[in-house]
Amino acid sequence: MKSENKVALITGSSTGVGAATGLNLASEGWNVVINYSKSKKEAEQTAAACSNFGIDVMVCKANVAEDEQCKNMVRDAVAKWGRIDALVNNAGTTKFCSYDDLDGLTKDDFLNLYAVNVVSAYQMSRAAKPYLEDAEDGAIVNTSSISAISGVGSSIAYAASKGALSTLTLSLAHALAPGIRVNAVCPGFIQGRWTKGFLGERYEEVKKSIEKRTLLNKTSLPEDVANAIVFLIQKADMLTGQLLTIDGGGLINQSKLG
């Protein structure tokens, strides 16, 4: 039986941008799939918060680097609700490594980052394609990064993987048109647990340094990025193949006028 509510499947949505996106869509009356690979407690907390909006939620453990687990997650969502209207490929990982330390990254580091940050988005999009095509306005939004444009990020491997994800976004926009719109958000520094976990004691120092280099003198909260994702899903009927930068004007401030 097909649910009357639209359905969004959001990978990597136990915390951070993914969780904020789930809550945003739930507040708009969407049923949501909350996906996690390790953070079960946080995923259940996010699902409970989404449920407070009176919608239906499914919590799904899956490693989206594995194709079969991607397929199973899509099958479970369709079995429950009979539809998928939006896919948010938000799952991501990194390895911090100084850019001048070329020995600090191995082949396996690259392959792991590409599997999670790029290949998973392809696998999820492929699995969801038949159902997104049946939707009234099927949409895919990928969470890329400003590092895909600037080449600067937590490591060379991370920046390269996000560059590949942005290119994948453009390729899928071609491949899935006209039935499915495909866009990406490219956030800069995002406040929260994920960034704190990688930066540790350097978190506040790095955050303040980046804020000084942005036109708006601030960095994004997960909710800021989620707002852009939901806009691309619900309010951007004429947008596909777009890479939306969300960095407070940091990128354009690198070369000031005058």
Give yes or no: 158 in active site.
Answer: yes
* Distance, CA of 16 to CA of 135 (rounded, Å): 27
To the nearest 10°, the Cα dihedral for 101, 107, 110, 114? 170
CA distances from 127 to 73, 77, 122, 200 (A): 9, 11, 9, 36
Task: Specify whether the CB–CB gap between 153 and 116 falls below 8 A.
Answer: no
Q: Which of 36, 99, 158, 203 is catalytic?
A: 158
List, as one string, the DSSP characters of the chain. Answer: ---SS-EEEESS-SSHHHHHHHHHHHHTT-EEEEEESS-HHHHHHHHHHHHTTT--EEEEE--TTSHHHHHHHHHHHHHHHS---EEEE---------TT-GGG--HHHHHHHHIIIIIHHHHHHHHHHHHHHHSTTEEEEEE--THHHHS-SS-HHHHHHHHHHHHHHHHHHHHHTTTEEEEEEEE--B-SHHHHHHHGGGHHHHHHHHHHTSTTS--B-HHHHHHHHHHHHHS-TT--S-EEEESTTTTGGGS---
Active site positions, annotated:
158
